[in-house]
Amino acid sequence: MESIKLRKITSLWILIVLVLFIVNIVLGILMRLNQGEIIHQSPITFYANMTTHGLTQIGIWFVAGMAAVNYLLQRYVKTSYSANVVAMVLTVIGILMLWASTYIGKFHAGWTFLYPLPLKIMWAKWATPMFLGSILVMGVGWLTWSVSMMTQLLKKYPLTRALAWQHFKKNPSTQTPPFILISMITLIGIIACLLGAVLLLAMYSAEYFSNGTFVNDALLMKNLTFFFGHTIANEMLYLGLAVIYELFPEVGGRPKWKTTWYVALAWNCTLVFILTAFFHHLYMDFVQPVGFQIVGQIASYMASLPAASVTIFSVLVAVYRTPIKWSLTNLLFFIGVAGWVIGGLGAVIDVTITNNFVLHNTLWVPAHFHTYNALGNVLFSLAFFHWFFNPIYQGHP
């Protein structure tokens, strides 16, 4: 009964994601046509499209990853159905609020809504609180969902085991499945960045309601914006990786991957680096202390290295000269890893401070993140969708 309910809600998530994805692709194509001067949109329409496209894409592929992880987590622990429903209801409300703010209210400050843009009213007055409110509503839904999943995980696995610390000793007595380790690491990051969003929105509303008696520090606001924005965009990729670790060997008819000391170390390090890599968005901010800029560069290199190299290594070892059963599911996973690596290399080139002087604010930036999102993360989720609806693989969880 429980698993039927979970299947139903996961199917509904998939449906929502796919419908919104198609709408978003249309918005993306309209933007490209406009940039190529084949059609002519007013700047307001272009930026309203961009804001809607950006935030909706981030939102849908984040929830796609969460829904997949939630579904697979049921193999190990009992997850909360009500938290899943709350997240869905709030996501749908949030998306509707977002679209109302951009298309009725004409809010068009970009999905990163950099301070002080939202407070510089160049649209309907209600559109700013509506836009910020949409992020809050979605954020609260996702926070509830993540906290609930983490609580269920911790009910079964003590914290140190969920983080696979026993693997740092020789001959660990218990195993932490890689899926549990990656989910735990990712959920901590997600909770941190969503709390960042709550703080950011609180700061915005404090200024908005204070009638000029309180103003924010632009540097703090930009740091908080990217602590939230960069981190969530990154964590949604890691949700996809958790799914790969769980399903890639299984679908290929190979034994399950095991957590080893280096897998445990890589993912534990990733937690730290992922929360500090966002500093690379502030290279152009001369008031940011140089130390933070250096941390940003090093953390960005390091964040990509452990998770990426361990995953690539595992995937390559799994397919190289090994008779595996290929299907659309693991083909999508495989191509997704390749897209992720190519886009990731583009990111690493861009986070190098000297290169960033040239690449900042150029099409390089959307190019690299579209590569690892559209050709990486999206394919991870599509692979899950294919697996989910493929009768051959079902009978799980």
Partner 1 sequence: MFKRIILSFIAGSFFYCTAAFGQVNQANWKEDANIYEKVCDASITINKGVNLTLSQLYNEKPVLLALIFTRCSGICNPFLLQLKENLQFKISAGEFTVLVLSFDPRDTREDMELLSERLGLENNEQWLFATTGDIEKLNQSVGFNPVWDSTRSQYDHDALLVGINKDGYITKKLIGLRNRQDLAQMINSVNNIFSPSYRLPNKNLLFSCFNYNPETGKNTPGLGLLFLALPAIVALLLVFGISYSVRQKQI
Contact residues: partner 1, CB under 8 A: 80, 82-83, 86, 90, 97, 116, 119-121, 125-126, 128-130, 132-133, 136-137, 140, 143-144, 147-148, 150-151, 154-159, 188, 191-193, 195-196, 198-199, 201, 203, 205, 207-209, 211-220, 223-224, 227, 275, 286-287, 289
Q: Which is nearer to partner 1, 192 or 308 (CB)?
A: 192
- For 279, other C-beta atoms within 10 Å of its C-beta total 25
CB of 65 to ligand HEM, least distance (A): 10
Q: Which of residues 37-76 bind ligand HEM (CB under 6 A)?
A: 50-51, 53-54, 57-58, 61
Per-residue x/- mask for ligand HEM, residues 189 to 208, rule CB under 6 A?
--------------------
Per-residue x/- mask for ligand HEM, residues 354 to 383, rule CB under 6 A?
------------x---x--xx--xx-----
Partner that binds at residue 140, options partner 1, ligand HEM, none, CB closer than 5 to 8 Å by kind: partner 1
Burial class (CB in 10 A: 0-12, 13-18, 19+), 138: buried
Partner that binds at residue 61, options ligand HEM, partner 1, none, CB closer than 5 to 8 Å by kind: ligand HEM
Residues counted in the chain: 397
Q: Is 31 helix (H, G, I), strand (E, B) or coil?
A: helix
CB of 34 to ligand HEM, least distance (A): 8
328 backbone dihedrals φ, ψ, rounded to 5°? -60, -35
Partner that binds at residue 44, options ligand HEM, partner 1, none, CB closer than 5 to 8 Å by kind: none
Q: Which is nearer to partner 1, 291 or 323 (CB)?
A: 291
d(CA 26, CA 111): 17
Radius of gyration of the chain (CA): 21
28 binds ligand HEM (CB under 6 A): yes
Nearest alpha-carbon partner for 72 in 163, 168, 182: 182
Nearest alpha-carbon partner for 176 in 189, 166, 168: 166
Per-residue exposure over 310-326, b if at least 16 CB sit within 10 Å of its own CB, e if not: bbeebbeebbeeeebee
d(CA 84, CA 107): 29
Q: How far is CA 67 from its chain centroid?
A: 12
Q: Which is nearer to partner 1, 168 or 214 (CB)?
A: 214
Q: Which is nearer to ligand HEM, 157 or 372 (CB)?
A: 372
CB of 281 to ligand HEM, least distance (A): 12
d(CA 121, CA 318): 54
d(CA 69, CA 246): 10
DSSP 181: H
Q: Which is nearer to partner 1, 131 or 385 (CB)?
A: 131
Question: Where does this chain bind ligand HEM (CB under 6 A)?
Answer: 25, 28-29, 31-32, 50-51, 53-54, 57-58, 61, 110-112, 366, 370, 373-374, 377-378
